[in-house]
Amino acid sequence: MKAGVIFTGTGPILILTSYDSFLSEEFGAKMAQKGIKKYIVCEVDLDLVRKRYGQHFDAIMKDVKQEDDLRVLDYNGHNVFYIFSFDELGEPRFKEISG
């Protein structure tokens, strides 16, 4: 499982995924299905995310309504932006899905 802060046109969201990469064609296609065709992603250490989100993290991981390939842990942009320092975010990577 990977964790990443995804910066979209409407603000940041925190995603958990089983995909190998946030830049893979498969992950990009999944994001496009959600209407997100352009994003910036910064990976975040999964243990740090688990520590910061605690029981909410556990609840999202147990939610049978969400699939392992894409779980939204937090869609409150203000919260996502301020819960991690810039030093805790990985290098920003850019993805734009054509079509």
pLDDT of residue 64: 56
What's the distance, CA 74 to chain centroid? 8
Q: Are 81 and 12 in contact (CB under 8 A)?
A: yes
Domain residue limits, the chain:
2-96
Torsion angle of C-alpha atoms 82, 84, 87, 88, degrees rounded to 10: -160
pLDDT of residue 19: 92
Of residues 67 and 71, more confidently modeled: 71
State pTM to two decimals.
0.90
Asked if the model's pLDDT at residue 3 lies above 60, the reply is yes
The stretch 5-18 carries a mean pLDDT of 95
